[in-house]
Amino acid sequence: MYTLQHEGYEVLIAANGLEGLRKALSEKPDLVVLDIMLPGIDGFEICHRLRIEPQTAQVPILMLSAKAQEVDKATALKEGADYYLTKPVAPSEIISRVGILLARKK
């Protein structure tokens, strides 16, 4: 997430799904960028769990994944993702989507 750090965003990184879920619940981030294919708990399950927790239910979630099938995108949106980008993606697109999602939150 060097792209976001370079733009001045503070970025927390997790090594696996469970760590990411724990960090999101404890740190209460302004936005979550989430992949589907993670060790342990996958991104769909993390997204679902973040949506059912009161402290993270309103946090914007940007799914960023190499899984490009329509069913993956539909599942992510059904689980509560706000937007879905398919890798590879231009850094400018990530920055743009993050900005839009953060602006909506306010």
* pLDDT, tens digit (0-9, with 9 covering 90-100), for 16-58: 999 999 999 999 999 999 999 999 899 999 999 999 999 999 9
How many domains does the chain fold into?
A: 1
- Print the domain residue range for 17: 2-105
Instruction: Compute the mean pLDDT over every residue in the chain, rounded to the nearest whole number.
Output: 95
Peptide bond just before 88 cis, omega within 30 deg: yes
Percent share of the chain, pLDDT over 70:
100
Reported pTM = 0.94
Q: What is the 3-state secondary structure (H, E, C) of 43-67?
A: HHHHHHHHHHCCCCCCCCEEEEECC
pLDDT at 2: 85
* Exposed/middle/buried for residue 98 (C-beta within 10 Å: 0-12, 13-18, 19+): buried
Over residues 91-101, mean pLDDT: 96
pLDDT at 1: 74
Please give the angle made by the CA atoms of 49, 22 and 95, to the nearest 5 degrees: 80
